[in-house]
Structure 1
Amino acid sequence: MCAVILPPRDPAPSRLTYRMQRLWLTPLFRLAVLRGLPLAAVLAIPALWFSDADRRAEFAGQIADIRRQVETRPEFMVKLMVIEGATDPVAQDIREVLPLDFPVSSFDLDLHEMRRTAEALDAVETAELRVRPGGLLELKVVERVPAVVWRGPAGLELLDGQGNRVAPIETRGLRADLPLIAGEGAQRAVPEALALVAAAAPIEERLRGLVRVGERRWDVVLDRNQRILLPGQDAVAALERVIALDGVTDMLGRDIAVVDLRNPGRPTVRLAPDAVEEFRTMRRPRAGATRG
């Protein structure tokens, strides 16, 4: 029996083995095999479980129940709202526009939207909300301060120093301490109106109000139906000149109906009707008079 002699084994790797060995030396490939495949296997298990719609709905319900249990814990419940810095009517308006049903979870309160709602009220300038320990919702309010009474299309209204609406009023006598403004666009020029009122302090007892004309200038209305027609530019300076002249000559105490300063280079005055008639009578020749 003769023995079969096998050829010596070639120690060189096959082409496939060589390529796999080279690929294994690649860091990205080795990371994908050692980390990526186990991670993909781990993620595949919950993905398969969540692929069922009923299981997803059941899981979402459980999460919602847990969240609600946390949100409704006693330490997160708000039981009372306190309003600071607001008068009783404004506080009542705030409670009407923020109808909260206490107790309520602090997680259900949109403080940003509640602040915007409170500041939408005419009388509220700024509002600040925060939840205090002990289930207390604190609302700090800064109210608008009325500065003038505006006679507008809707009637009498209170405006603050910037022309923002504060509240309506029924009669002028309710706020006789505030200056009266009227005319189209008067509410948009409140700062200038207040400057004119301040300049008219020496004659404030005679001041009846300001009228905006053409949305560009003011008329100062005094008692005895007197008016000072101010220019569109440098109205405060023009009014101060008139008041200074009145202090020297008592001009506004005379029978003058209008002081017209619309043209600063050519100020004019208009006599009252009675004064005009008296002036004409003085110039009319007397009956029976003879020429010299």
Structure 2
Amino acid sequence: MLPGLFQPASTADLQAQLARDFPQRLVLASGGRQALLECGAGPTVVLLHGIGSGAASWLQVAQQLASRARVIAWDAPGYGDSSPLESPAPKAEQYAARLLQMLDTLGVEDCVLVGHSLGALPALALARSTQAQRVRRLLLISPARGYGAAQFAERRQQVRQQRLDNLEHLDIAGLAEQRSAHMLSPAAEPQALAWVRWNMARLNPDGYRQAIELLCGDDLLRHGAPDMPCDVHCGDADSITPAATCLSLAQALGARFSLIAGAGHASPIEQPRVVAGLVACALQESLTGSPL
């Protein structure tokens, strides 16, 4: 392989890089503790993962950004070492409140906020809250709308039951084995598949159940369009939140839209350099008003 091109890493290699380059911190939060990964210095980028993942899924994106930004990725409530929320069926605002507590503890006054998949819901909830000034720019990557709107009532029950049944009958390890390939494009490298599977296998059942309720009981669009600039990106081979769906969400939110070539749903793992470039461009625009 030519110098400078991406060198695939094994899961063991990535775990070692995670401990070295993107170490975990624990901070106190209402109801318990909040886990996060942090690296770099400079203007802050905050990364929120999706329902079947965790903070570590952002490792390779964070490595690319660490030379120009302070990069923070949370393990959502109930994920990793983060305490779950009190409500068994939380809404996006409750996740956003925990996120705000984390930002306060870390001394983050403003940031570029990035929500992937289900992470889009708490991201937009914070961006539409009374603390919206804390978000300089919003990026939603393959955003999940959720099934909380009235027109999705039948689908909502199907999705909830299917996910809960899978959790009961497959357990977390079986869920990771069955679902990992759906997160990526057909052309994904084995190393990317292994990293998706490793992240998914670390799910906590209680946190995952709460996230299922967020997915099924909330609606991204009920929050309305954010006041700050917003971008929506989607993998061109995303079969979970397809391009047409993401485009319609972008239009509803008044956001710019673009496709990520060669990526399925888990683009931060499958195309980390491209995703890091999109985040870096958003960061630059948030600071100067001009793209890179």
Name whichever structure is richer in strand by fraction: 1
Q: TM-score, normalised by structure 2?
A: 0.23
Name whichever structure is richer in helix by fraction: 2
Q: TM-score, normalised by structure 1?
A: 0.23
Looking at CA atoms only, which structure, 1 or 2, has the larger radius of gyration?
Answer: 1
